[in-house]
Amino acid sequence: MVQQVAIVWNPSKTTREALDEALAAALSSSGDAASVEWIETSKDDPGRGATEQALASGAELVIAAGGDGTVRAVAEVLAEQGSAELGIAPLGTGNLLARNLDVPIDDLAVAMTRAITHEASVIDVGWLALDGGAEKQAFAVMAGFGIDAHMITETDDELKSRVGWLAYVESLGRAVSSSEVIDVTVSEDGEEPARTQAHTMMIGNCGTVQGGITLLPDADPRDGELDLLLIDAEGVGGWLDTMRNMLWDNGLKKLMPGTPDDAESSKSIGHRSAKKIRIELAEPREIELDGDVIGKARVLDVEVQPSALRVR
């Protein structure tokens, strides 16, 4: 049976020849046949228009070949229309969804083979609206404000092109120094709002970020919930507590037999989960969505769309 495949690709990340070669290797090793449509993204449209075009042409499988922005744009349309499966050919710096779903990062032909041959599994998608607006944007991995958003804005693009995700480490110090604790009001699943303080908040559908670091140990993209992480570390003592919580309590300790899998909170870190979350900040902050900063906001309305995507 011939698959109707569309490859939505970012020409700033690779060449058509490299993708052609990887696809040919995938089809040759699998023995499958495919009718392929190639659609480029643009700087003004990272993939939404291309995905809509692919679906209008009858695509059964849409392969997002690019970075996190391309994958997110393709996933957003597929979650809305639900008429095709998603494949990932990771070509970015973070490759966040690919890492969380164990898609090969460093072998384009193998990633293409998985996209062509593997059975799809279902994952959730999160939707975010800013400042009470009607427009919603999807995320497959994480949304939030604080250190992660500051790291993205502080990271040198030239350095990122040379050393990949390690460039984010170079910007970490500046991100920490510019992250101030502010008042935050959190409402989960329509319950009474709770007031707290934080300088970093992450709402995750998946838990792993660059470098294989797991920030949300309980996050499962198939459980119909979103996981919330709040960090309010200040001073040396607060940051030591944060590092101990991430690296030991929710890291190495979880590898020991008999240790519960649930995420552990600490003095500086709080974990919780919900289907619908409203966040109100005392002042606007830069908001990050699957590795891209999308602007400043003071109010975030987030909800999960269970079983929104079929991903190979």
- Distance separating the N- and C-terminal Cα atoms of the chain: 18
Please tell me whether the overall predicted TM-score, pTM, comes out greater than 0.75 for this model: yes
Per-residue pLDDT, 177: 47
Per-residue pLDDT, 230: 84
Per-residue pLDDT, 293: 86
Nearest one of 23, 152, 15, 173 to 96, comparing CA atoms: 152
Q: How confident is the model at residue 252 (pLDDT cuts 50, 70, 90)?
A: very low
What is the rounded average pLDDT of the residues 26-54? 93
Q: pLDDT of 175-197, one tens digit each? A: 444 457 889 999 999 999 999 88
Of residues 152 and 32, the one with the higher pLDDT is 32
Per-residue pLDDT, 199: 82
Q: Is the pLDDT of residue 299 over 60?
A: yes
245 CB neighbour count, 10 Å cutoff:
22
Per-residue pLDDT, 30: 80
Per-residue pLDDT, 31: 81
Q: Is the pLDDT of residue 119 over 50?
A: yes
Per-residue pLDDT, 260: 53
Q: How far is the C-alpha of 218 from the C-alpha of 204, rounded, in Å? A: 9
Q: pLDDT of 124-178, one tens digit each? A: 999 999 999 999 999 999 999 886 544 444 444 554 444 344 444 444 444 444 4
CA 136 to chain centre: 16
Q: Which residues of 113-150 are buried (b: 16+ CB within 10 A; e: fewer)?
A: bbbbbeeeeebbbbbbbbeeeeebbbbbbbbbbbbbbb
Sign for the pseudo-dihedral over CA of 32, 37, 41, 47: negative
Mean pLDDT, the chain, integer: 82
Percent with pLDDT over 90 in the chain: 60
What is the rounded average pLDDT of the residues 60-76? 97
Q: Is the pLDDT of residue 207 over 90?
A: no
Angle at 23 between CA 17 and CA 51, to 5 degrees: 90
Per-residue pLDDT, 292: 86
Q: pLDDT of 49-64, one tens digit each? A: 999 999 999 999 999 9
Q: Is the pLDDT of residue 248 over 90?
A: no
Per-residue pLDDT, 174: 45
Residues in the chain: 312
89 CB neighbour count, 10 Å cutoff:
31
What domains can you pick out in the chain, each with its CATH number? 2-118 (3.40.50.10330), 125-307 (2.60.200.40)
Residue 182 to residues 47, 154, 173, 243, 278, Cα–Cα distance (Å): 35, 20, 19, 21, 16
Q: pLDDT of 98-108, one tens digit each? A: 999 999 998 99
Q: Which residues contact 171 (CB under 8 A, 6 or more apart)?
A: 150, 151, 154, 155, 156
